[in-house]
Amino acid sequence: MHTSFWQIVVLAIVQGIAEFLPISSSGHVVILATLLGVTAEQFDVVELNIFLHLGTFASIVAYYWREILRLLSEDRRVVALLVLGTIPAVAAALILKATDLDQILESPLVAAICLLATGGLLLWTSCQAGGDADYRKLPWLQALGIGIAQAIAILPGISRSGMTIAAGLKTELKPQQAATFSFLLALPAILGATTWEVLQRMRDAEVGPQLPLSQLLGGALIAAVVGYVSIALLVRVLEKKRLHYFAWWCFLVGGGMLIYLAVR
């Protein structure tokens, strides 16, 4: 699939929105590929993924730079919590790869069903007020639980931010504290995915560059700006306890895809 500049713009906007809002970027990619009659792999231009991931990584750093600086100084315990919370996602990815079950990551049926599950989860959060706990004092076992929630979100249609924030609310974190821990936890996940894609690109280096550097940098910038706005929007929605509003979009897309698969 040839990727034009405007396709890069669209993919960068989708990445910036769906990576952080609780609607699942992977689920939308699988469904969009199905509707266009291509495979999800044809959207998987490795070097573009690298730059888009770097863009969303930059948006988290820009929004939470104060918290990240504290991680490097006074909040070093949180670094260990983030490492612990990342282990389940790494284990899940390795298991899927080793057992060839990673094919389910491209299934539109799985994506549709998981989007409905995400919608149900978001409705459930409307009943969870959260508590008054600080993520910096999060117990080890609860950090691991949030990490397991992130690992489940490897499935297309399961929102990473939705799962981890919901798990944080369940552990009595304040809504804004749950969002902060969720996005800090995304940093090693995004960095790990980007590193894997860089290694893939190095392995296929003989293919040569597929896209001009200017377009890749433009896509990264768009993803970063849109991602920053999406984080700010999600934090505001959480403060107003309206996270469940996103459930209706998940129901619409997931339900619509099930109908499409049934009648096509």
pLDDT truncated to tens, each residue of the chain (264 aa)?
455 677 788 888 988 998 899 999 889 888 887 887 766 555 555 677 788 889 999 999 999 999 999 988 888 899 999 999 999 999 998 888 788 777 788 889 999 999 999 999 999 988 776 788 899 999 999 999 999 999 999 999 999 999 999 999 998 899 899 999 999 999 998 888 888 777 766 766 555 556 777 888 899 999 999 999 999 999 999 888 888 899 999 999 999 999 999 998
Apex 52 CA angle, 30 and 258, nearest 5: 15
Provide the pLDDT for residue 239: 87
Buried b (16+ CB within 10 A) or exposed e, 220-245: bebbbbbbbebbeebbebbeeeebbe
- Which structural domain, as residue segments, surrounds residue 215? 5-263
Angle (deg, nearest 10), helices 175-203 and 160-170: 140
The total domain count for the chain is: 1
Whose tokens are 């996602």? That residue is 89
pLDDT at position 159: 94
Return the closest-CA partner of residue 42 out of 33, 50, 54, 51: 33
133 pairs with which residues across the strands? 173
Q: CB of 162 within 8 A of CB of 149?
A: no
- Report the pLDDT value the prediction gives residue 232, as an integer from 0 to 100: 96
Which of 133, 132, 127, 139 is CA-nearest to residue 166? Answer: 127
Which pTM was predicted?
A: 0.88
Specify the pLDDT at position 198: 76
